[in-house]
Structure 1
Amino acid sequence: MSGDDMRSVFGRQRGWLLLSIVLLFTTMLAGVSLLGLSGGFLTGAALAGALGMGATFNFFSPSAGIRGLTMARIVSRYFEKLVGHEATLRIARDLRVWFFRRALPLAPARLGSSRTGELLARLMSDIGEMDGWVVRALGPLLALAGMCVATIIAAALIYWPAALLLLVLAVLVGVGVPLLAVRRGDAGEAQRAQSRATLRTLAYEGLEGVADLTALHARDAWIARVDAAAREVAGRDRRRRRRLIGGNVLHAVLSGLGLLAMLWLALSAFEAGRIEAPHAAALVFMTVALLEVAAGSGIAWQAWQSARVAGGRLQQIIEQPPSVPEAATPAPVPAGDASVVFEQVVFAWPGERRRLLDGVDLHLAAGDRVAIRGDSGSGKTTLSALLLRLWDPGQGSVRYGGVDLRRFAQDDWHRQIAWLPQGAPVFAGSIAENLRLGRPDASDDALWQVLEQVRLGEWARQQGGLLAWVGENGATMSAGQARRLALARALLRDAPLMVLDEPTEGLDVDTAHALLTDLAAALGSRSLLMITHDRLPPGVVHREYRLQQGQLLELDPAP
């Protein structure tokens, strides 16, 4: 596992994890001791009865020990499962929070190059492999190591050659066989993880685009791709299981040979008078128990390998450098001057020579409302991305209140902006929960006020009020209502600058014009930068520009 930050996630739950490992070791120790003591006790009892020595045989101490070990094993097993599940769930929660916290600053600039389904696979599959890393891999391996040491020490107290034999068996079946079964498995695990991510991506994108696939008569072809990806995953899982089965077969062979060797050694020592019969039986039964415990080491090593690959995949996402650096010594955002100035701004995407923006100049005074129009791919959205400081210009500067945006802390700057992106989502939740994403501390009165501003007040009352459920992606709303709700969320921020990217995308002309007219009335003294393809109704903006060949050209006012 790599990355100090990821280790800190596990470190926060070290108490639960340590308790889980101790309980697992206690369960193993109780099981091995129980089998060893039971074997010795039954052997001693049988010999005492056969030789007529029942009167001198200590029946009560071993039977009390057996009852105590049985109860200890039951109790420790129960609490081991309880604590292990608690630790796993806590880590699963913390890993997701950690991943989101590290990944969100990369959105949308860096994460935009990753497919949504791929990110979903990282979030689901890879974190799923990681959250049980201690309980499924590290804990069992540490407990097994402790169990081997304890069993070898116990065997040495009885007969030291038996301890040497147990040491050899422990190394062979606990380390050698599992490592042989998972040898060169990192590449296989990486391919398995990638094939699972591919399947999730195809399934997700197919569900998201089922309407388009149906309209283009491409659904059958897409299903065939999903089936092929599923067969690839199944094939890799079968190969993984075959490696594990091969290890189990080898484990069984070595266990059989080792048990025969221990049986021969114990009987030889008994015949030579070096140990008593109950002790000889205890050695054999301890060997049986230890070999049984070691049978799970292959699964543990495989889980370790999977978690290591998953951790590397997660690090690939969150270790990407941010698209813009934070200011070393952030300057305060000016409170009095809300002007925005683009001065000789030049921008080209990394690795590309074509300049999307080539010497752009734009002045947006406080309260100005400006629309930028242009063909697809002309750089309109790039202009808004520079204003949002998702990217920095290659040349020139973008200033707010006379200060270059690169001198602000990003959180401070983003608080000055209310952004309505193209395709702004409506989240599964209530009306109030969707609105309070814009301002978490907004009162109910403020929510109703902004709903009235975008003409959704009556609709919200008909739905049952602010707590009404809007459904996944606004399933209970029309497209126009969903855009109005997203606009209300942006207006609720009460930031001095509003940036809208294609706010009327997908709406009919009448709905779009009504939305824009309501927007103009609701803006008040706020500034507006709007990216749009559409013709605007009169009075929505003060000036319109066309972005063409990297240059901004001011358009004549509409008659």
Structure 2
Amino acid sequence: MLIAFLDTHLRPYRRALALLLVLQIAKTMATLLQPAFFSLVVDRGIVRGDLNYIRYIGTVMVVVALVQILAAGAAAAVGARVSAALGRDLRSRVFRRVMGVSAREVGRFGAPSLITRTVNDVQQVQALVVTLLDIAVAAVITCVGGVVMALLQDVSLSLIIVALVVVLVTGLTVILVRISPTYARMQRAVENINRLLREQITGIRIVRAFVRDDHERARFSGANSELFGVGLKVGRMMATVPVVVMVLMNTATLPIIWFATGRIDAGQAQVGSIAALLGYVTLIITAIIMATIVFADLPRAAVSVRRVQEVLDVGTSVPTHPNPVHGARRRGRLTIQAAGFQYPGAPKPVLHNIDLVAEGGQTVAIVGSTGSGKTTLLNLALRLFDPTSGSVHVNGIDVRSFSPDSLHRVIGIVPQEPHLFSGTIGSNLRYGAPGAHDHDLWHALDIAQAGEFVEQLPGMLDAPVSQGGSNLSGGQRQRLAIARALVLRPEIYLLDDSFSALDRRTEARLRAALARDVPEATMIIVAQRLSAVQHADRIVVLDQGRVVGAGTHAQLLYYNRTYQEIAYSQGIPQEIPSRGHRTIRGVLHGQHS
């Protein structure tokens, strides 16, 4: 997988890689020529006392050394550029893939895992490419070229070098096979650390409120100790590599000197050739030591490559239609027909045979107890998930036939947990409509009952917003999220418990402004408080994923027991409009007043 992955993703840089190969060959050949020149200086210059020849070869060696320096610098620059570009492109591909899959696939990986894969794993691949292009290529050329040059000096003694290379390559391969699973464990340990940190930092207020600091420290300490143990095991295994290499290098040098002495005495070899041969031994061993740096990164990088490829290969459970609809006549009609949904791995569905129709300009509310499937139903309308049965239509067209851009311009969402991005008030409001003018933003803020507090902020629309809107109150974040959806001007608004952080007075003004300023829009409102939805055209009651009632507020108070229980729990006025003037409490207890 590693080779195929690199072949695929390095293909756009073929020209740069070809230039890099030429530079590496030039650098390595310049390095390999130096021992041969030194042999000539000894055998032809010093032995014969030819000073002019020594000066000539010395000048050539200086020129070759300059070539080596220039080629090495250029090769390092090209390699760094290629690896940086590869890292940039890989991160972009992974990010685009994550943005292109459904919430189901994102949930399968988990946010900490996706962050680790996008940042840490891509960095591991990038580091591997740096060492491959700068060290591994040079090491291979040096080993092959060094053996060839050594054979040219003395064939019989060079066989010792060949044997040394074979032994080293075999030993390193064994170490790599043994260490690879440990690197996989290390990556999982890093991922676990990221997950814990994310949970503890985002939930710091809960940790403090429940006095669980010691518990969380213990959890982190356990995860940290696990990472330490795995890292220590890897370090011990890799520490054996340079020791083995140095032992073998010294072991190879001694027999070369031993046999060379006899050959020199017999007149079968010259001192300069033996010196060059020992120089090639040193170069080859150095190259192998440098190669071990690459080998040390290979198992970890192979794991990272597999993890990155898993994200790039993941399909989506919400595929785009091959011939998507890019626009539709504005009507604002939302139809959900016999829709059911079951989360992957869940024992049973969360929605069963849901039917819902909202005509253009209507306000339809969805109420029910916690866990009844209200938010999941909105997610189907927005096509964050596809229903496992049934269908969802907007303006008479199946949402699966829309292009994602077109659907999300028709439907605007205000999520249950309003999320703001770091930037400014203006940049958050323009998130779905980058070309919106300032007066559009102020109009949306006024409708959302947020204009007054934004005017009081230093910089107003340019006022800074921290990550997640942490420098704003819950009510302010909620109103800004509503204003953001209003700037988009969609046909259908999905408001997921979007009034929960507002006081009743602000909520009433907001509902009145929506009815006045966007009367043509369809409103689908999920709410816990019945006061936010009792004026809706129709209210749908969910219980355990099923529709158990639908009608107006008055109708549901009259006949729907689930709605009556919700109203009673919230202190809704006790009298039910009916001829008998029954009370909610009396209905729930089977009594008449």
How high is the TM-score relative to the length of structure 2? 0.85
Q: Residue 498 of structure 1 corresponds to which residue in structure 2?
A: 493
Which of 386, 397, 402 pairs up with 2:396? Answer: 402
Match of 2:531 among 514, 527, 536: 536
Q: Which moved more, 1:158-167 or 1:479-488?
A: 158-167
Matched residue SS, 1:358: strand
Query: RMSD across aligned C-alpha pairs, in angstroms?
Result: 2.9
The answer as to 2:553 corresponding to 1:557 is yes
Paired position in structure 2 for 1:141: 136
Q: Which of 202, 207, 212 is residue 213 of structure 1 equivalent to?
A: 207
Would you say 1:90 and 2:51 are equivalent positions?
no
Aligned counterpart for 2:271 among listed residues 277, 283, 286: 277
CA distance in 1, matches of 2:339, 2:61: 82
Report how far residue 427 of structure 1 moved. Answer: 0.9
- 1:150 and 1:512, CA in 2 relative to 1: closer, same or farther beyond 3 A? farther
Q: Which residue of 2 aligns with 1:231?
A: 225
For CA contacts below 8 A with separation 6 or more, give which structure has more relative contact order.
Answer: 1
Match of 1:420 in 2: 414
Q: Where does residue 203 of structure 1 map in the other structure?
A: 197
**How far is 1:64 from its partner?**
1.6
1:60 aligns with 2:55: yes
By how many angstroms is 1:318 displaced?
A: 4.1
Q: Give the 3 Å change call, closer, same or farther, for CA 310–55 of structure 1 in structure 2.
A: closer
In 1, the alpha carbon distance for the partners of 2:21 and 2:428 equals 43
Q: Deviations over 1:478-532 (max 9, x none)?
A: 2222222222222222221121222134455555555544444443422121222
CA contact under 8 A between 2:332 and 2:521: conserved in structure 1?
no
- Given candidates 266, 282, 288, the residue that maps to 1:288 is 282
Q: CA deviation at 1:545?
A: 1.8
- Is the Cα–Cα contact under 8 Å of residues 105 and 317 in structure 2 kept in the other structure? yes
Deviation track 1:367-386 (CA, whole Å, cap 9, x = no partner) reads 11211111111111111121
- 2:53 alignment partner, SS class: coil
Q: CA deviation at 1:470?
A: 1.3
- 1:432 is matched with 426
Matched residue, 2:567: none
C-alpha contact (below 8 Å) 1:520/1:539 kept by paired residues: no
Equivalent position of 1:40 in the other structure: 39
1:240-297 residue CA offsets vs partner (Å, 9 max, x unmatched): 1111111211111111112223333444443343443222211111211221121022
Structure 2 unmatched runs, 5+: 555-576, 578-593
Q: In structure 1, how many angstroms separate the alpha carbons of the residues matched to 2:112 and 2:505?
A: 35
Distance in 1 separating the partners of 2:496 and 2:475: 16
Q: Matches of 2:527 and 2:64 in 1, distance apart?
A: 75
Which protein shows a greater Rg? Answer: 2
**Alpha carbons of structure 1 residues 195 and 513: separation in structure 2 relative to 1, 3 Å:** farther
After TM superposition, the structure 1 = structure 2 runs for residues 133-282 of structure 1, keeping only pairs within 5 Å, are 133-137=128-132, 140-173=135-168, 175-282=169-276
Classify the secondary structure of the residue corresponding to 1:536.
helix
Pick aligned residue for 2:385 from 382, 386, 391: 391
- Distance in 2 between residues matched to 1:13 and 1:292, nearest whole Å: 29
Matches within 5 A, 1:318-329: 318-329=312-323
C-alpha deviation, 1:146, in angstroms: 1.7
CA distance change for structure 1 residues 365 and 121 in 2, over 3 Å: closer, same or farther? same
Aligned residue type for 1:259: T
Residue 469 (structure 2) aligns with: 474
1:374 maps to amino acid: G
Equivalent residue letter for 2:219: R
- The 3 A distance-change label for structure 1 pair 518 and 71 is farther
Change (3 A) 1:332 1:78: closer
- Whole-angstrom distance in 1 between the partners of 2:192 and 2:520: 49
- Give the equivalent residue in structure 1 for 2:11: 11
Q: 1:302 to 1:408 in 2, by over 3 A?
A: same
C-alpha distance in 1 between matches for 2:288 and 2:515: 72
Report the Cα distance in structure 2 between the residues aligned to 1:127 and 1:91, rounded to whole angstroms.
9
The CA deviation at 1:60 is: 1.9
Q: Which moved more, 1:447-456 or 1:437-446?
A: 447-456
Work out the CA distance in 2 between the residues paired with 1:24 and 1:225. Answer: 49
**Aligned with 1:335: secondary structure?**
coil
Q: 1:82 to 1:338 in 2, by over 3 A?
A: same
Q: Does 1:119 align with 2:118?
A: no
Supply the distance in 1 between the matched residues of 2:448 and 2:503 (Cα, whole angstroms): 17
Distance 1:69 1:394, change over 3 A: same
Gaps of 5+ in 1: none
The TM-score normalised by the length of structure 1 is 0.90
Q: How does 1:449-528 map to 2 (within 5 A)?
A: 449-461=443-455, 462-528=457-523
Deviations 1:133-177 (A, max 9, x none): 22124653333222222222222322223443333333333x223
| Structure 2 CA distance for aligned equivalents of residues 512 and 242 of structure 1 | 64
534-543 or 216-225, which deviates more? 534-543
Contact 2:5 2:305 in 1 (8 A): no
Say yes or no: does 1:109 pair with 2:108.
Answer: no
> What letter matches 2:39 in structure 1?
G
**Do 1:343 and 1:362's aligned partners in 2 also have CA atoms closer than 8 Å?**
yes
Q: What is the rounded CA distance, in whole Å, between the counterparts of 2:272 and 2:194 in structure 1?
A: 58
- Displacement of 1:204 after TM fit? 1.9
Higher mean Cα deviation, 73-82 or 489-498? Answer: 73-82
Distance 1:548 1:514, change over 3 A: same
The answer on whether the counterparts of 2:534 and 2:553 sit within 8 Å (CA) in structure 1 is: no
Aligned residue for 1:424, secondary structure, equals coil
8 Å CA contact 1:495–1:526 kept in 2: the answer is yes
The residue identity in structure 1 corresponding to 2:359 is A
1:308 corresponds in structure 2 to 302
> How far apart in 2 are the matches of 1:380 and 1:107?
19
My pick for the range that moved more, 540-549 or 122-131, is: 540-549
TM-superposed deviation, 1:98: 0.5
**Structure 1 stretch 488-497 or stretch 54-63: which is displaced more?**
54-63
Q: Distance in 1 between matches of 2:9 and 2:418?
A: 32
Separation of aligned partners in 1, 2:82 and 2:490: 42
- Of 8-17 and 356-365, the range deviating more from structure 2: 8-17
User: Letter of the aligned partner of 1:71 in structure 2?
Assistant: L
Report if the CA contact (8 A) 1:133-1:307 is conserved: yes
Pair 14,375 (structure 1): closer, same or farther in 2 beyond 3 Å: farther
User: Aligned-pair distance for 1:182?
Assistant: 1.8
In structure 2, relative to structure 1, the CA distance for the partners of 1:276 and 1:545 (3 Å cut) is same
The code of the aligned residue for 2:49 comes to G
Q: CA deviation at 1:392?
A: 2.5
Identity value in percent? 27
User: Is the contact made by 1:95 and 1:131 (CA closer than 8 Å) also made in structure 2?
Assistant: no
Q: 1:199 to 1:442 in 2, by over 3 A?
A: same
The number of equivalent residue pairs is 553
Distance in 1 between residues matched to 2:387 and 2:413, nearest whole Å? 20
Greater shift in the superposed pair: 431-440 or 159-168: 159-168
Please tell me whether the aligned partners of residues 430 and 468 of structure 1 are also in contact (alpha carbons under 8 angstroms). yes
Q: CA deviation at 1:111?
A: 1.1
Secondary structure at the aligned position of 1:362 is classed as strand
**C-alpha distance 518-263 of structure 1, shift in aligned 2 (>3 A):** farther
- What SS class does the counterpart of residue 130 from structure 1 fall into? helix
Moved more, 350-359 or 365-374: 350-359
Distance 1:56-1:395 versus aligned 2 partners, 3 A rule: closer
